[in-house]
Amino acid sequence: MRNKFTWNLLFNPFTKIAGWQAFALGMLFVLLTGVIGTYAGVAFDGAIDSHITEYLSLKDSFLFLVIAVVSVVVI
């Protein structure tokens, strides 16, 4: 039975993680994506879009991510 529960959690994590906990985990992933993208030279400038860039400041990286998150939430 435990194996079925593990697969179910993988396909639908909202059975265990929801509300503010899910929000905090999502924001953690956004922060990590911004930092890693900055140092790797990858701009995540859309909801499902990324571009390789020569120079990307930390401010620009997070600005792109904020715009992407807000646009997904609004839509």
Residues 9-48 have pLDDT tens digits of 777 777 777 888 888 988 899 999 999 999 999 988 887 8
Answer yes or no: is pLDDT of 2 > 70.
no
Between helix 20-40 and helix 58-74 the angle, nearest 10°, is 140
Read off the pTM.
Answer: 0.71
Tokens of 39: 């140092």
Burial (CB < 10 A; 0-12, 13-18, 19+), residue 23, is exposed
The β-bridge relationship of strands 51-52 and 42-43 is antiparallel
CA distance 59 to 72: 20
